[in-house]
Amino acid sequence: MKLGILTSGGDCAGLNAVIRAIGLYVYDNIPGAEIVGIPDGYGGLIEGECFPMKRGDFGDSLLREGGTVLGTSRQPYKTIAAPDGNGSRLSRMCANYRKMGLDCLFTLGGAGTHKTAALLCSEGCNVIGLPKTIDNDIYGTDVTFGFQTAVEVVTECIDRIRTTVGSHGRIMLVEVMGNKAGWLALHSGIAAGADMILLPEIPFSLDAVCDFVAERRKSDSPSAIIVVAEGAVLDTEAPFKKSERAFVRTERGERTVTARLAETIAERTGAETRSTVLGYVQRGGTPCAYDRLLSSRLGGYAAFLAKEKRFGVTAAVAGNRITFNALTEIAGRYKTVDPAGSIVRFAKSVGVSFGIK
């Protein structure tokens, strides 16, 4: 059996731990098996690049190393099958899958990667997906690897920011990743004791945000920390496409509401307001122990599915069980925060504002 591994989309902690578990399981449980690494995500498959990976290549250092030893890239799903003068990227991936003589391809990636994986399956390739992203927005799994490490990183960052906020009596907006789903903002905001959390799933009211800040300034703790998911949106602009939203100031190259919101809060309340965009630190560094364990279990299970020739699926977590979903079931679907769900209700019950009246 010849198996290929690729990592696609944004990197995160835990990718290498998944790779290690796949390698160890395959070499210790599938006699005569051979593994190749495919560099730079689907980009490597499009170019037909691969290299052999022996058992010794799956050492323990992969448990600790962040990022991906295979490299990654983004190959936007919406144009993957578009003719480009040399067939399409999809047709070249399928041809190279066959040229490499693969019996199975493991794709470690987010929602977009899974959509392309489902397409490869429909073209006859044997694919097994693994749910990767710091956003935790993949449908069909309770949690994705990389998410918990990002929650730890963001929580620590907010803890550090709290000292300057308290010293200056300021309002600090902390922008975290999460375009379609606000899981990272929600979990880290609660863990770090944020006063307000703005999510893509709960469009916020400018009046409610400013009234909240104004009230805080009258209280004996005038400072506040507002965690903003990068996909958060004004209630008056939620119906429009991102490119049509005036509140996002594009002339200065901002893509999110954070900078404009900080200025508006300062103008309307007189509060000293600052913003911090955590950016790519959220994806870096060594995986936490939880993600090392989760990644190892998911990788080992995916390799077991390959041994059983169970293709066209993606590994998943349900409760404390590792299981799988059909790729066609989950491709293109997102798991978003339920505004009426228990974790939001809990946060509200202990005074966290979500920027609404």
The span of 17-25, 61-69, 172-180, 302-310 binding ligand F6P (CB under 6 A) equals: 172-180
Using CB under 6 A as the criterion, what x/- string covers residues 58-77 for binding ligand F6P? ----------------x---
Half-sphere exposure of 136 (CA within 13 A, CB side): 21
From the candidates 135, 137, 195, 291, which is the catalytic residue? 135
Contact between 102 and 126 (Cβ < 8 Å): yes
**DSSP classification of residue 333:** -
Our CB check for ligand F6P shows the closer of 260 and 283 to be: 283
For the packed helices 258-269 and 206-218, what is the interaxial angle rounded to 10 degrees?
Answer: 50
Told to check if 291 binds ligand F6P by CB under 6 A, we report no
Total residues at interface with ligand F6P (CB under 6 A):
12
> Which residues in the 264-283 window bind ligand F6P by CB under 6 A?
283
Q: Which parts of the chain fold into alpha helices (H)? A: 15-29, 42-47, 61-64, 89-99, 111-122, 147-168, 183-191, 206-218, 258-269, 289-307, 327-330, 342-349
Of 20-28, 44-52, 132-140, 167-175, which part binds ligand F6P (CB under 6 A)? 132-140
Residue 133 as a binder of ligand F6P (CB under 6 A): the answer is yes
Contact flag: residue 179 with ligand F6P (CB under 6 A)? yes
Of the listed pieces 175-183, 262-270, 286-294, 298-306, which binds ligand F6P according to CB under 6 A?
175-183
Is 11 in the active site? no
What is the DSSP pairing of strand 127-131 with strand 224-229?
Answer: unpaired
Candidate residues 15, 21, 177, 331; the one interacting with ligand F6P per rule CB under 6 A? 177
- 10 is a contact residue toward ligand F6P (CB under 6 A): yes
3-class state of residue 329 by DSSP: helix
Q: Which two tokens stand for residue 3?
A: 């198996």
Question: Whole-angstrom Cα distance, residue 146 to residue 67?
Answer: 10
Q: Shortest approach of ligand F6P to residue 230 CB, angstroms?
A: 6
The amino acid at residue 194 is A
- Residues 116 and 314 sit within 8 Å (Cβ to Cβ): no
Among residues 134, 165, 194, 234, which is the contact residue for ligand F6P, using CB under 6 A?
134
The residues assigned a catalytic role are: 135
Instruction: Give the interface with ligand F6P as residue ranges (CB under 6 A).
Output: 9-10, 74, 110, 133-135, 177-179, 230, 283
